[in-house]
């Protein structure tokens, strides 16, 4: 089984910087790549602030924080991945973009390097078939925010070999995560269950069953959810939710997974939730104000 000591992370957004954060604190060397230098600068700032919060709470020592940050190298091309034992792709949830990334990435990797994808819904078998290493390709789905969420779904494609699945399971455990094995069906375990619930909340809003505040309060008080479904939509990202629902709808052919038209309108407007400052809530006010 491959012993993973150095990893690459592709994409310096919310998921990518979170993966780099937990990997570096676990003692792994990390190459964090993004084509946008500003995204890398923002990511390192986010990692620094998040680790500082851990130091202030006493869960991380200051010297461990400093050593972890020093283990992260930021780059803007694939050239630094040549000595990585594994690379985790954490790009946007778009199949065409991911396949384009793999086409440029695979020639730079060692033949024995593992390639993992952080996709939340796209079939692993199909993505792996677009690479030069389907046996060493696997799904490794982290959850947002990565430093806080304990779960990683490990998803084997049809061609994924035992050693690869075992190596990424061990890698997730080294990062302090608990692993759930998921079959390669659209949206895997968590999003297969969660996203239709979020979609149904948006249908309830569109149909006037309740307004934003009543739907969120109802699920928090009536179902003991820590966050209302529309608030959670904003946290996940409405664009990401929309893409997952499209994968479910197309992959399973069942109309119950049809994305709500109101969700599509919010995505078309660029109202993607917290990351854009506006979704079902407007985050320019404190507390956030419902937008419908």
Catalytic (active site) residue 95: no
Q: Which residue among 191, 199, 231, 243 is the active-site one?
A: 191
- Reading the block at residue 90, the tokens are 């954490």
Catalytic (active site) residue 191: yes
The pairing of strands 6-10 and 114-117 is unpaired
Buried/exposed 222-240: b ≥16 CB within 10 Å, e otherwise: eeeeeebbbbbbbebbbbb
- Reading the block at residue 52, the tokens are 């500082």
CA contacts within 13 A on the Cβ side of 104: 13
- Which residues sit opposite 30 in a β-bridge? 7, 72
- Reading the block at residue 210, the tokens are 């309740």
Q: Which residue among 78, 120, 121, 199 is the active-site one?
A: 120
Tokens 């806080």, residue located: 148
Catalytic (active site) residue 199: no
Q: Which residue among 93, 153, 231, 243 is the active-site one?
A: 153
CA distance 280 to 291: 5
Q: What's 278's DSSP letter?
A: B
Q: Which residue among 50, 141, 199, 243 is the active-site one?
A: 141
What is the three-class DSSP state of 259? coil
Catalytic (active site) residue 94: no
Active site residues: 120, 141, 153, 191
């Amino acid at each position: 089984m491959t012993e993973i000591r150095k990893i690459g992370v592709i994409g310096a957004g919310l998921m990518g910087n979170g993966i780099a954060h937990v990997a570096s604190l676990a003692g792994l060397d990390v190459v964090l790549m993004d084509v946008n230098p500003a995204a890398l600068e923002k990511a390192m700032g986010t990692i620094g602030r998040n680790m500082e919060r851990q130091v202030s709470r006493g869960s991380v020592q200051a010297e461990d924080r400093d050593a972890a940050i020093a283990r992260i190298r930021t780059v803007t091309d694939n050239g630094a991945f040549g000595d990585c034992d594994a690379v985790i792709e954490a790009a946007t949830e778009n199949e065409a973009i991911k396949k384009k990334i793999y086409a440029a990435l695979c020639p730079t990797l060692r033949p024995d390097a593992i390639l993992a994808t952080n996709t939340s819904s796209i079939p692993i078998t199909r993505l792996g078939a677009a690479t030069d290493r389907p046996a060493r390709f696997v799904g490794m789905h982290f959850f947002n925010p990565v430093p806080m969420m304990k779960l990683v779904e490990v998803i084997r494609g049809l061609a994924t070999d035992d050693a690869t699945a075992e190596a990424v399971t061990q890698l997730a455990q080294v990062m302090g995560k608990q692993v759930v094995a998921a079959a390669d069906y659209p949206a895997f375990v968590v999003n297969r269950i969660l996203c239709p619930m979020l979609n149904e909340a948006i249908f309830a809003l569109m149909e006037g069953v309740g307004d934003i505040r009543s739907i969120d309060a109802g699920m928090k008080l009536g179902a003991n959810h820590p966050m209302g479904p529309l608030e959670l939509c904003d946290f996940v990202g409405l664009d990401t939710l929309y893409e997952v629902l499209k994968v479910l709808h197309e992959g399973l052919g069942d109309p119950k997974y049809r994305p709500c038209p109101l969700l599509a309108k919010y995505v078309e407007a660029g109202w993607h939730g917290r990351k854009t400052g506006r979704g079902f809530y407007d985050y320019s006010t404190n507390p956030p104000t419902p937008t419908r």
